[in-house]
A and B are shown apart, each in its own frame.
Chain A
Amino acid sequence: MIGDEIAGMLGDPLMQRALLAALLVGLAAPVIGTYLVQRRLSLLGDGIGHVALTGVALGWLVGNAMNLVPHDVLAVPGAIVTAIIGAVVIELVRERGRTSGDVALALLFYGGIAGGVLLISLAGGTNANLMAYLFGSISTVSTGDLWLTVILTAIILVVGIGLRTALFAVCHDEEFARAAGLPVRVLNITIAVVAALTVTVSMRVVGLLLVSALMIVPVAVAQLVASSFRQTMGIAMAIGVVVCVTGLSITYWRDLSPGATIVVIAIAVYAVVALARPLLVRSRSHDPHPQVPDDVEVAA
């Protein structure tokens, strides 16, 4: 029976923790994703994700050196610290000019991965140890991990939703925000730091390589049907939750990578919505040619 199967899944404490983590991540990731898409910085999450890998390896190295058990207890804190530093550096470089920001992002991509692999081998680990972080390891979520996820998600939601108008203002038109005396740099760094937190919180669920997909794809879907910024964010959060929980549930029965399953479902949702869009978006009740006096004299 399907009902028994689902009851069995929900009764499994390991699965309970994993589902809760997936739900929180699905809710939080699209919040910051909406701002990144708004300022056309969709790849920022990827850049931060790559940097976070170096952080994971650095945490591992330090944990090893201090003979901590297990060796990777510092991996997540390492990822958080490094991701925040990386995000702030990217933001400061971006502030100085657009072209160099693009190159800086590329350097971070390559440096992050290479640094991670190098450090993990120095720590006596193998690349296999990095796999859990690159592709996610939600099946091993402990109660402690879950608490960290709850706290980080709360921060992301409070900042991302509570400061929505201000963060929107700075992403929508930075020049106008400066001319309004808004603390533009502080707001930009806030977005960068929240993006870094989102990356590290999503790491367990989908892995660093696919973190950005969870931030961006739900927003891409929402954009197809929403007409306001607020709606886009709301719909994206709903889609994030649905794809994360669905994807993870599937892996309870089929031995698939949770992260990859979630992202594939999200992209499938995008494809379906894009195809069905003409049916979903009912023609708006606006006359595209309102009665406005002509501004040229037309000879009769």
Chain B
Amino acid sequence: MTPAVLARGVRVVLSGNVILRGIDLSVNDGEVVALLGANGSGKSTLVRALVGAVPIESGEVELLGKPLGGAVDWSRIGYVPQRVSAATGVPTTAGEVVTSGLLHGHRLRPPRHARRLVLDALELVGLTHHLDRPVRELSGGQQQRVLIARALVRDPALLVLDEPVAGVDLPSQEAFATTLGALTARGRTVLVVLHELGAIAPLVQRAVVLRHGAVVHDGAPPTPAREHGDPDHDHVHPHDPDEAFADTGVAGLRWEP
């Protein structure tokens, strides 16, 4: 069976700096893989390279069995970029942002039943009532969920998520884990960048850890070494990737809904 994601020797150079030095990665159909590593280790750059958002200097990428480019069936791929905000210059509603997720490849206009699809996707992230609200009026966590809905709206077979629950409060994280669980139960493939496994931990089948733009671990997901149950825990994220394993306890304590 062809893997959903296949990367061989992916090297990425951005403004003269080597960011990824030959990454090999494969994600099988129906698998849930977490991509871990410290800040700046290249997680976002890797997923950007995989979905064609940054150019690859050398190496190959295949998505759903097709080399990156026009041959890929983009309608079956959903991507959630790492973002603080879904808002931009002009007032935009949550519905409009999610509708843009219905376009892919050469489909440049939304389908006729777009509104129903958009409502369904917003329902998956619990934001049905915010369809016509400007995204800039939503909280950071709600904006993040709008971006998740934008990826889910085309019912993708492969989901690529870059820190989808960063800045999302714990109940919403759990709700997101439930949604993700339902998707994976239906055979969807997931590659998710995480800072901490958090609520998604039970779903993750395999973990790939990056350090300085190279894979240093590919196998069983790390188990939390210690719990950060202490409410004073101030969430300073480790810059030493070895500590990334230790820091997989409770997340998002500081976020308001």
Contacts and interface: CB of A to CB of B under 8 A. Distances in A.
A163 interface: yes
Contact of B109 (A39, A40, A165): A165
Interface stretch (A7-15, A121-129, A207-215, A229-237): A229-237
Given A37-B90, A38-B89, A172-B88, A163 B108 contact: yes
B92 A165 contact: no
A40 B89 contact: yes
Nearest to B257: A292
Interface stretch (A44-52, A63-71, A177-185, A194-202): A177-185
Contact of A229 (B96, B105, B150): B96
Interface stretch (B1-9, B21-29, B74-82): B74-82
B40 interface: no
B93 A181 contact: no
B108 A34 contact: no
B96 A230 contact: yes
B130 to A, nearest CB: 8
B79 A176 contact: yes
A181 B108 contact: no
A191 to B, nearest CB: 13
A181 B81 contact: no
Interface of A: 34, 37-40, 97, 162-163, 165-166, 168-169, 171-173, 175-183, 219, 223, 226-232, 284, 286, 290, 292-293, 295-297
Interface residues of B, number: 45
A181 B52 contact: yes
B138 to A, nearest CB: 10
Contacts of B89: 37-40
A179 B63 CA distance: 11
20 contacts: A97-B15, A162-B109, A163-B109, A165-B102, A168-B100, A169-B100, A169-B103, A171-B88, A172-B92, A173-B100, A175-B81, A177-B100, A178-B53, A179-B51, A181-B70, A182-B108, A227-B93, A227-B134, A228-B91, A295-B169
Nearest to A186: B108
Contacts of B96: 168, 228-230
Given A165-B109, A175-B53, A176-B79, A292 B91 contact: no
A173 B255 contact: no
A232 B90 CA distance: 7
Contacts of A40: 88-89
Given A172-B97, A223-B90, A165 B103 contact: yes
